[in-house]
Structure 1
Amino acid sequence: MSTLRIGLFGLLGSGNLGNDGSLEAVLRFLRTEHPDAELSALCGGPDLVAARYGIATKALHWYGGEYRTASGVRAIALKGLGKLIDVFRTYAWVRRQDVVIVPGMGVLEATLPLRPWGFPYSMFLLCASARLAGTKVALVSVGANVIGDRATRTLVKWAARLASYRSYRDTISRDAMTAMGVDTSADEVYPDLVFALPTPVGSPSGGVVGVGVMAFRGDNDERDRAEEIYRSYVDGMKSFVGKLVERGRPVRLFHGDQVDTPVLDEIIAEYGAEHVSAAPLSSLDNLMQEMAAVDTVVATRFHNVLCALKMCRPTLSVGYAEKNDMLMAEMGLAQFRHPARHVDAGRLFAQFTELEERSAALGQVLAERNAANTQRLKDQFAALSAIFPGGRR
């Protein structure tokens, strides 16, 4: 029999811990259940993915400045040329695969600022190329939302329609694709792939509070208010950290993407490194190890919240999208939510106090939900194996 060739696709190795955590979960599955498969990736950070995971890689875009704002005629011309060249590059890579897996991530959503000719265009190229080449595309535990921008919506909708397999990380994602005109009657909902990663062992000490912050600037429809939203969010989170420091609580800051670094730096500069420190993170495993040493977590980025819940830490979500709210509800902490667009430090601290008072009972609830999520993902991987050529049905 010929070797099974499996490709992995996405903004992987680009500095987002959640994206790379989803990749790690799928790689663990593939190397356990399909150890002879030939793996490669078309991704945003090919050098990092190749070095860290030991697989062949190719850059997602021909033009290296794809995600930088074009500020001159030359940059605009190179971006346009890159869009054309990427058609042929993507097809050439896809046709060499039997299956391409898009591992988790919010690849069908626009809950953060997003240009249609960026990643949505790349997703469309992937799925259209696969349909032409006879390659299967599997969108595995992905996130989605109803998208207002017409161009982005069209590209995302057609990418999803052209995929061979779709599953979602929550019901709101499946409902969003249904609302946008995709037939989801055969699509399943499974937990986020990160729930399949091993959970580090550790015990909290010293009353440390973990605070996950983000360079939050609103969603795709709020570009005109981006800086106002950013300033309001950072000031609110900074005030909340100040209340913790006033009460003698050490604070450990977390990020979820390299773009969040300025927010961490600003908070540390305000209160001093003797009170507030930042965790050096390069993976979700690092993040979870750091979370093992804190008592409670207050976080914004989706995968910061998810990892804290996976670690059974009492968690308060300062959410920026419906997916944050859905995750908290599914894990039994629906009341411990706070809006990222309107951070009220006083109310947030009151919620934090109640969360800590109920920590023992909540820990048991989280342990039960985590066990159920782990089993559901085993079911997901079995379903995924079934679509591979010669797969078990």
Structure 2
Amino acid sequence: MTAVRVGVFGLLGSGNLGNDGSLEAVLGYLRAEHPEAVVDALCGGPEVVAARYGIPATRLHWYRGEYRTASRAGAIAGKGLGKLVDAVRTAAWVRRHDVVIVPGMGVLEATLPLRPWGFPYALFLLCASGRLLGTRVALVGVGADAIRDRPTRALVRRAARLAAYRSYRDALSRDAMRAMGVDTARDEVYPDLAFALPMPSSSRPPGPPGPVCVGVMDFHGGNDDRAAAEEIHRRYLDGTTRFVRALAEEGRPVRLLTGDACDAPVVAAILDAVDSPLVTAAEAVSLADLMKETAAADTVVATRYHNLVCALKAGTPTLALSYAAKSDALMARMGLGAYCHPAREVDADRLLEQFRALEKQSAELRRTLTERNRIAARQLADQFTALTAALFPAADRTPARTRQETP
């Protein structure tokens, strides 16, 4: 029998370490449970995905300037033509597969600035093509949130309805989709896929107080905050910088972490403002690198969702600079719900108080995280078992090649 063909889809290889970590977790599952599967990707950064993960990859969008602001007539025309071309390209790619997996990511949310004709449209094309062509599309461990913008909400809702399988990384996501009119009666909630990644060998050295990892973000608010984006960013950067400066003045080494290529200017601004040899920047290129950094730290204070995941998986006491409800939900799930601080209103003095309270409870919180990580591992094993039952039923393995040859 011809090997089952599996596609992975999303903004993968585009600089977001969390998205790539979700892909890595799904590839690990496929290689362990379905080694016969032939895997390729339709993604944002095909060169990176092909080089890093060893699978063939195709560019998600025909128009290379898809995520740049179009102000000139030529760019606007290029984007418009790209939408038509992408409809054909996506359908042709989907047709070559038996199964397509969207691995994790916040594909059903708009907690960061998002336009409906960008990724929501691409996701809708994927799920509609799957339904029309008989290819099972699975949204696995994805994030969702209530969306106010009507066109974006309509595309996301329709895409979710057309998917053959859905699971979510938290109950908040499932509730949001139910509120947007999606039947979630058969949808399950599991921990974020990144909790399935192997933990790199690293440990916190004994001795005096160790480093504090501070994960930063190029944060400008969410999809509904465009008018106040610059003010939100200024407050976030100012409060975070003051917090880092206070730690350095107390003699604490600080390691600045990022989670996306766009975060680099925030790191540069903090380094320039604090100007202390105690404050350094980590050069992480994967979630494994982030886990090593957080495992070696005494404490982590972070903004990006997958910075938090890495720190919590490493078992390090963590404080969230929370920019969305998903961060609060993650912290609560891991037993640290009391240690959240709003990213929109970073108060350095209050943040320092929470940080000191967190450090006083360090030993107890490490024990809590050890137990919560055991639970997460068991739940993700259940997730992959359910995924196999839904997508790879032994009695229904009609290969893509055979389906294509059927008139």
TM-score band (shorter)?
A: over 0.9
2:279 maps to what in 1? 276
- How big is the shift at 1:202? 2.1
- Identity, % of aligned positions: 64
Aligned to 1:295: 298
Question: What is residue 200 of structure 1 aligned with on the other side?
Answer: 200
Query: Which residue, out of 246, 250, 265, partners 1:247?
Result: 250
Tell me if structure 1 keeps the 8 A contact 2:108–2:156.
yes
Q: Does the 8 Å CA contact 1:385/1:392 hold for their aligned counterparts?
A: no
CA displacement at 1:386 relative to structure 2: 1.1
Q: Find 2:363's aligned residue among 352, 360, 368.
A: 360
- 1:207–1:186 distance in 2 versus 1, CA, 3 Å: same
Note the C-alpha offset of 1:201. 2.8
What is the CA deviation profile of residues 38-77 of structure 1, one whole-angstrom value per residue up to 9, with x for unaligned ones?
A: 0000000000000000101100000000000002000000
Match of 2:267 among 264, 267, 287: 264
Q: Is the CA contact (8 Å cut-off) linking 1:139 and 1:163 kept in structure 2? A: yes
2:93 matched residue in structure 1:
93
Question: Which piece of structure 1 moves more, 192-201 or 359-368?
Answer: 192-201
**What residue number does 1:390 align with?**
393
Partner of 2:404: none
Q: Following the alignment from structure 1 to structure 2, what is the Cα–Cα distance between the partners of residues 285 and 201?
A: 10
C-alpha offsets along residues 139-169 of structure 1, whole Å, 9 cap, x if unaligned? 0010000100000000000000000000000
Residue number in structure 2 paired with 1:73: 73
Following superposition, the deviation at residue 388 of structure 1 comes to 2.5
Aligned to 1:314: 317
CA contact (8 A) 2:248 2:276 kept: no
1:72-107 deviations in Å (ceiling 9; x for gaps):
000000000000000000000000000000000000
Report the alpha carbon displacement of residue 211 of structure 1 after superposing the two structures with TM.
0.1
1:326-345 paired onto structure 2 within 5 Å: 326-345=329-348
Question: 2:394 and 2:199 mapped to 1: Cα distance?
Answer: 29
CA separation of 1:389/1:378 partners in 2, compared to 1, >3 Å: closer, same or farther? closer
Letter in 2 for 1:367: T
Secondary structure at 1:306's aligned position in 2?
A: helix
**8 Å Cα contact 1:103-1:141 kept in structure 2:** yes
| Paired residues of 2:212 and 2:253 also in contact (CA < 8 A) | yes
1:111 is the counterpart of 2:111: yes
Q: Which runs of 4+ in 1 moved over 3 A?
A: 389-393
Q: Is the 8 A contact 1:21 1:194 kept in 2?
A: yes
CA distance in 2, matches of 1:126, 1:309: 33
Letter in 2 for 1:198: P
Question: In the alignment, which of 346, 351, 365 is matched to residue 348 of structure 1?
Answer: 351
CA contact (8 A) 1:212 1:297 kept: yes
Q: SS at the partner of 1:8?
A: strand
Matches within 5 A, 1:10-21: 10-21=10-21
Q: Give TM-score scaled by structure 2 length.
A: 0.95
Q: 1:270, CA displacement in angstroms?
A: 1.4
Unpaired runs of 5+ residues, structure 1, are: none
Q: 1:355 to 1:125 in 2, by over 3 A?
A: same
What RMSD, in angstroms, separates the aligned Cα atoms of the two structures? 1.1
Give 3-state SS (helix, strand or coil) of 1:371's partner.
helix
Aligned equivalents of 1:207, 1:375: Cα separation in 2 = 31
Q: In structure 2, how many angstroms separate the alpha carbons of the residues matched to 1:373 and 1:158?
A: 30
Q: How many residues align?
A: 393
Q: Distance in 2 between matches of 1:239 and 1:133?
A: 55
Q: Is the 8 A contact 1:14 1:45 kept in 2?
A: yes
